Copies of this chain bind each other. A is one copy, B any other.
Amino acid sequence: MKHSYLMTPGPSPLLPEVKAALGRDIIHHRTDEFREVLKEAHEGLKYLFQTKNPVLIFSSSGTGAMEAAVSNFLKKEDKALIVMGGKFGERWKEICESFGVETVPLNVEWGNAPISEDIEKLLDADSGIKAVYTTLCETSTATVYDIKSIAEVIRKKGLLCVVDAVSGLGQDVLKTDEWGVDVVVSGSQKGLMLPPGLAFLSFSKKAEKFLEESDLPKYYFDLKKASKSWEKNDTPFTPSVSLIFALRESLRVIREEGLETRWKDFGKMGRALRSALTSLGFEILSKSPSSSVTAALVKEIDTASIVRKMRKEYGISIAGGQGHLKGKIVRIAHMGYINPSDIVMCLSVLEKVLADSGVSIEKGVSLKAFQEVYYA
């Protein structure tokens, strides 16, 4: 009889309209009816990505689209600068190296955001670098990067700017065309309120030149093939029909509410949550906190046990730390279908679990702090 709440930074809870769409009968994908669904989804994605360029849909995890962003735009023995400030920066490096691309890291302390001047210096020092791979929201540290400034530096040099927006899209501001971001990738199970299983990739006119010259092997994630199909509201391989029905619903709701409204609301949720966690004596990990997820350092206690107790005893799933932050932080998502009242509920259980673990706190202190900021 216990409720279950999903407050992890992906998967995040499903929109009711999404659940209804998932349970419906399937139709054949090479029909006018399905092309109409794809067309609507394509339009909605352009709005979400803030671009006039194509946004392709892959049946895969977000990592599939990240691979596509490497294998389709680079050549053998190309060199790429990777912003390494967390687990998903590392993923760019691993993918590049799997494809024989040489990587130049910009090491950023976990919890910090990269400084665009540091990127500029590295690019000045090495004229062989062809592309920069970075992240909108580094989920492992709950840090948002200043993509606008980063993109400007890259654009001035005529290089390719690639952004992993898997967890940030929909909450953290991203203006793809206005900021001159060339390639943006994302996934379905975060801001889009869908199950995992779809990935997305938008690419600019400038990126087309890189695409033409690329000679790395690809087939399933071949963007040339995918773009050709995209023009006809089609896909090269059988698409995830059920997930795409659900995608259309999610995009409708996002559009109805409006991105500006959502950006503001998630920003406020983040600020209120940071105030609440600070009131519990936690330290906010990030120097540049994201609007999609919040990470806080907890000193007195192994956070893995907090995460476990919250899930097992109260049905609330939050996340712990990854890499060297394992056991040291809690991460609470505010993305997609997560509402402020969900966060209040989560905080109330967090207080109880902390008290049970012997941490002395004043009852309701974090709830008060949240209310004071969110409902100011």
B-contacting residues of A (Cβ < 8 Å)? 4, 6, 8, 10-11, 13-14, 19-20, 22-29, 31, 59-64, 67, 71, 94-95, 98-100, 187, 189, 195-197, 216-222, 237-243, 311, 317
Contact of A238 with B23 at beta-carbon distance under 8 Å, contacts A59-B60, A64-B220, A219-B94 already known? no
CB distance from A305 to the nearest CB of B (A): 15
- What are the residues of chain B within 8 A of A29 when measuring CB–CB? 11, 196
Contacting pair A220 B63 (CB below 8 A): yes
Which 3 pairs from chain A and chain B are nearest by CB?
Answer: A23-B23, A197-B240, A195-B242
Q: Tell which of B4, B14, B220, B238 touches A10, judged by Cβ atoms closer than 8 Å.
A: B238
Contact of A189 among B95, B98, B238 (CB under 8 A): B238
Q: Are B243 and A99 in contact (CB under 8 A)?
A: no
A62 to B98, CA, bound (A): 22
Given the known inter-chain contacts A59-B59, A217-B216, please indicate yes or no for A11 contacting B28, CB distance below 8 A: yes
Q: Complex formed: what's the CA distance from A71 to B222 in Å?
A: 15
Within 8 Å CB of A197, what residues of B?
Answer: 59, 197, 240, 242-243
Instruction: Looking at the assembled complex, report how far the CB atom of A14 sits from the nearest CB atom of chain B, in whole angstroms.
Output: 5
Between A67, A98, A237, the greatest number of chain B beta carbons within 10 A of the residue's beta carbon is seen for: A237
Find A195's partner among B26, B95, B196, B221 (CB 8 Å cutoff). B26
Best-surrounded residue of A11, A67, A98 (most CB of chain B within 10 A)? A11
Q: A189-B238, A238-B62, A240-B197 are in contact. Are A217 and B100 (CB under 8 A)?
A: yes
What 19 additional pairs, Cβ within 8 angstroms, besides A63-B220, A100-B217?
Answer: A4-B27, A6-B26, A6-B27, A6-B28, A11-B26, A11-B28, A22-B242, A59-B59, A59-B196, A61-B239, A63-B219, A63-B238, A64-B220, A94-B219, A98-B217, A187-B238, A189-B238, A195-B241, A196-B240
A22 / chain B contacts, CB cutoff of 8 Å: 22-23, 242
Distance A216 CA – B238 CA, assembled complex (angstroms): 25
Q: Closest Cβ of chain B: how far from A356's Cβ, in Å?
A: 21
With A61-B237, A67-B220, A217-B98 known as contacts, the answer to whether A13 contacts B25 (CB < 8 A) is yes
A-B residue pairs in contact (CB < 8 Å), sample of 5 = A22-B22, A64-B220, A99-B217, A195-B242, A220-B221
Most buried by B among A4, A22, A27: A22
> Which of chain B's residues have a CB closer than 8 A to the CB of A4?
25, 27
A10 cross-chain contacts in B, Cβ below 8 A: 238
* Complex-state Cα separation, A181 to B297, whole angstroms: 52
Q: Which of A13, A220, A237, A317 has the most CB of B within 10 A?
A: A220
Bound CA span A241–B29, Å: 22
The answer to whether B240 and A31 touch across the interface, beta carbons within 8 angstroms, is no
Contacts of A19 in B (CB 8 A): 23-25
A187 to B240, CA, bound (A): 11
Q: Are A218 and B25 in contact (CB under 8 A)?
A: no
- Alpha-carbon distance A195/B25, docked complex (angstroms): 9
CB closest chain-B residue, reference A95: B219
Q: Are A239 and B196 in contact (CB under 8 A)?
A: yes
Rounded to whole Å, the gap between the CB of A337 and the closest CB of chain B is: 10
Give the Cβ gap from A176 to chain B, nearest Cβ, in Å.
23
Chain B nearest CB from A9 CB (Å) reads 10
The one of B14, B60, B241, B242 that contacts A25, using a Cβ cutoff of 8 Å = B14
Complex alpha-carbon distance, A73 and B115, angstroms: 42
Cα–Cα distance between A219 and B62 once the two chains are bound (Å): 12
